[in-house]
Structure 1
Amino acid sequence: MKIVIAGAGEIGLDLAKVLTAEKHDVTIIERDDDAKKLARELNVRLVEGNATSSSKLREAGVATADIMIAVTSDDGVNMIASMAAKKMGCPKVIGRIREMELSGGDCPLEASDLGMDVKIHPEEEAANEIVMLLKRTVASDIVEIADGSLQVIGIRLPADAPVIGQTIRWFDEHHPEIDFNVIALNRKGNTLMAKGDHKLLKDDQLFALARKDDIPKLIETTGRKETNIDDVLIAGGSGVGEMIIHKITSDPELSKRDWNIKLLEPNEDRANELANRFPNVRVLFGEPTNPDILAIEGIGDMDAFLAVTDDEESNIISCLMAKHLGVSKTVALISKKEYIPISQTIGLDAAVNTKLAASNEIHRHIRGGNVKSITSLHGITADVIEMEVSPGSKVDGKAIKKVSFPGGAIVGAIWSGEASDAEIVTGNSIMKAGDRVMLFAQASYLDRLTDLFQG
């Protein structure tokens, strides 16, 4: 497909890398000199200028593009560029909106009013993920699939876990009461696609697919225990921090708890603003990396510490201090994907990446052919890929165990009707034309996987 991206910031560049790797024809519009240098390093066409300029949009070929993606750091630029692209005839426009007033459910403007077919908010996606991690206290990663009926969960194995030293096959055979599949391991920063004879070792990060209702039982098998989180300290009153508070207090499940929320904000004006907005939250002015402030506020008595400032190094450092002071659950907001495996190795419980959240959200809307969606996982170099079986394809009518999937790709679930009816597969499960199949694979094998599912 021909895709135009407005904005060569972190999200725009990351998208361009992914989309060019998938053989799309990508053009970037950018005016910032530093960003232009980075864009030139990619195998993409660069149009230098402002994305609000109709002449630059024409030069980029928006009128003949299949998709326009506006992801600059300025909501106004994204809206103007989106409206202009739609007027020029671009059939699909995706735009990033950061302001809650323009992206929240209370906003009277629909995406179409802004010239957008899809309105994305990476910060909100990151907040959603963090809130899910508060619900699953043991999880280092969690992704809902099949309309939420299934979950992929990442769990770090402690030294005393009952499964240590056992194979994945043994793990599966000794827990027939749980409907689950181990899909991958993160071992010292390396991704291992699961095989039956892999032994489970101390500090392995195990990724498994299970029914949502079976997740608590699966966690128990690893020797870990879920606990309620009620006392939370949020470092950073950024958009993400503010959205986390909104979601905690409005979520049907979480809002029933007796929350004790503290918010630490390094900007005094912003701290005062948030204190007025959230009267039931104790808002503090100070630096999240100041150990004295953390100690005074009783960080050791907190159930969770969420570092979501705009400074990712500060987020990592403050989480490490919180962990050292006895906090059981620490989550850091990180913009560089390269930091994620490092952060978990040095002791953080979970890391959430806004670029990955944006990429996942946009990928849901730009797929074509048999590939229906791609969702990246934080802790491993593997993606959740949803494919449709075409009539007469190489997998049509075949049992999973009879198909040789490239790169150790693993089939996790199949459904033929509603996604909520998805079934976790066995080797004997049959793939039929029209079925949706959920696979776990490394992105470099996407073309070979697509070849199996095409008619």
Structure 2
Amino acid sequence: MRVAIAGAGNVGRSIAAELVENGHEVLLIDKNPRAIKSDTLPQAEWLLADACELSSLEEAGIDSCDVAIAATGDDKANLVMSLLCKTEFGVPRTVGRVNHPKNEWLFNEVWGVDVAVSTPRLMSALVEEAVTVGDLVRLLTFHEGAANLVEMTLPGDSPCVGLRIGDLDWPGDVVLVAIIRDGHAQAPDTDGTLETGDELLFVTAQDYERQLADMLSPRRGGIAVANLATGTPRVGTI
């Protein structure tokens, strides 16, 4: 997969290093000459250019990229790059870094952003996940709000502990997509059982969240809204 990253600061370089290690082709773009440190990541391509200009994106061959990541420290620049990549070059996937929480509402499909990543949101979600055993935590909202990715750490007093997964009748269109047990993710096995402390990941419409929470943890039944991002995630992409 070919990925373009605007912003070659600490955040951009860290993302690039991870992607290169995973075998992806990476192009780092920055308009600041001091940010071009090709010796730190020689496996990546480097381009001194302004990612907010059409000519720069053409020079970068942005239309050949599968993903464009706007990771600068300027929200305005991240929005402009995302919009140009999506509308002018048809990049299939755009990811926008949100630096200031007050700007989160702008990072959506109107500005060409498929996935918005907000550090404050991410940190709050991790806190919620750590302290709310038995509460349903909303991690991510898919495109247009049709479905959410939610998580619950199963409490010991849940009526579902010890039950066969295939015998559980989930409400509505709820789908159990993964179980994290002892730090390892696994696909749900219909012949397997749920255990205390399992982290359960579901995809569900918001209308069924309350029923799901009551089913898994009727004494608590809380729902913590801690969105990590909004977008239309695809398997195998960022």
Task: State the TM bucket, normalised to the shorter chain.
Answer: 0.5 to 0.7
**Matched residue type, 1:308:** A
Deviation, structure 1 residue 246? 1.2
Number of equivalenced pairs: 205
Give the secondary-structure state (helix, strand or coil) at the position aligned to 2:50: coil
Residue in 1 that maps onto 2:218: 452
Q: Matches of residues 57-136 of structure 1 in structure 2 within 5 Å? A: none
Gaps of 5+ in 1: 1-228
Q: Which residue of 100, 105, 128 maps to 1:338?
A: 105
Q: Matches of residues 285-434 of structure 1 in structure 2 within 5 Å? A: 285-323=48-86, 324-335=88-99, 336=101, 337-340=104-107, 343-345=108-110, 347-368=112-133, 370-371=134-135, 374=137, 376-379=139-142, 380=145, 382-388=148-154, 390-391=156-157, 393-395=158-160, 399-401=167-169, 410=174, 412=176, 420-423=185-188, 434=196
**Higher RCO (CA < 8 A, seq sep 6+):** 2
Counterparts in 2 of 1:289 and 1:452: CA distance versus 1, 3 Å: same
Is the 8 Å Cα contact of residues 389 and 431 (structure 1) preserved in structure 2?
Answer: no
Deviation, structure 1 residue 444? 8.1
Deviation, structure 1 residue 278? 2.8
Residue in 1 that maps onto 2:21: 250
Give the secondary-structure state (helix, strand or coil) at the position aligned to 1:313: helix
Is the 8 Å Cα contact of residues 413 and 437 (structure 1) preserved in structure 2?
Answer: no
| Cα distance in 2, alignment partners of residues 240 and 433 from structure 1 | 38
Deviation, structure 1 residue 376? 0.8
| Cα distance in 2, alignment partners of residues 411 and 389 from structure 1 | 20
Is the 8 Å Cα contact of residues 268 and 285 (structure 1) preserved in structure 2?
Answer: yes
**Matched residue type, 1:249:** V
2:47 aligned with 1:284, yes or no?
A: yes
Deviation, structure 1 residue 240? 1.9
Deviation, structure 1 residue 243? 0.6
Deviation, structure 1 residue 315? 1.4
Is the 8 Å Cα contact of residues 266 and 286 (structure 1) preserved in structure 2?
Answer: yes
Is the 8 Å Cα contact of residues 415 and 422 (structure 1) preserved in structure 2?
Answer: yes
Is the 8 Å Cα contact of residues 331 and 352 (structure 1) preserved in structure 2?
Answer: yes
| Cα distance in 2, alignment partners of residues 301 and 347 from structure 1 | 17
Counterparts in 2 of 1:329 and 1:432: CA distance versus 1, 3 Å: closer
Residue in 2 that maps onto 1:13: none
**Percent identical:** 19
Is the 8 Å Cα contact of residues 363 and 375 (structure 1) preserved in structure 2?
Answer: no
Structure 1 length normalisation: TM-score?
Answer: 0.37
Q: Matches of residues 431-442 of structure 1 in structure 2 within 5 Å? A: 434=196, 436=198, 438=200, 439-440=202-203, 442=206
Query: For each residue in 1:11-59, what CA deviation from the matched residue of structure 2 results, as whole angstroms up to 9, or x when unmatched?
Result: xxxxxxxxxxxxxxxxxxxxxxxxxxxxxxxxxxxxxxxxxxxxxxxxx
| Cα distance in 2, alignment partners of residues 416 and 237 from structure 1 | 34
Deviation, structure 1 residue 238? 2.6
2:4 aligned with 1:239, yes or no?
A: no
Deviation, structure 1 residue 395? 4.7
Counterparts in 2 of 1:290 and 1:421: CA distance versus 1, 3 Å: closer
* Structure of larger gyration radius: 1
Residue in 1 that maps onto 2:232: none
**Matched residue type, 1:357:** L
Structure 2 length normalisation: TM-score?
Answer: 0.64
Question: What is the Cα-based RMSD across aligned positions, in Å?
Answer: 3.9
Gaps of 5+ in 2: 221-238
Counterparts in 2 of 1:417 and 1:362: CA distance versus 1, 3 Å: closer
Deviation, structure 1 residue 321? 1.3
| Cα distance in 2, alignment partners of residues 262 and 416 from structure 1 | 34
Query: For each residue in 1:125-179, what CA deviation from the matched residue of structure 2 results, as whole angstroms up to 9, or x when unmatched?
Result: xxxxxxxxxxxxxxxxxxxxxxxxxxxxxxxxxxxxxxxxxxxxxxxxxxxxxxx
Residue in 2 that maps onto 1:73: none
Query: For each residue in 1:87-128, what CA deviation from the matched residue of structure 2 results, as whole angstroms up to 9, or x when unmatched?
Result: xxxxxxxxxxxxxxxxxxxxxxxxxxxxxxxxxxxxxxxxxx
Deviation, structure 1 residue 417? 6.4
Give the secondary-structure state (helix, strand or coil) at the position aligned to 1:377: strand
Is the 8 Å Cα contact of residues 233 and 264 (structure 1) preserved in structure 2?
Answer: yes
Give the secondary-structure state (helix, strand or coil) at the position aligned to 1:434: coil
2:29 aligned with 1:264, yes or no?
A: yes
**Please, which moves more after superposition, 435-444 or 380-389?**
435-444
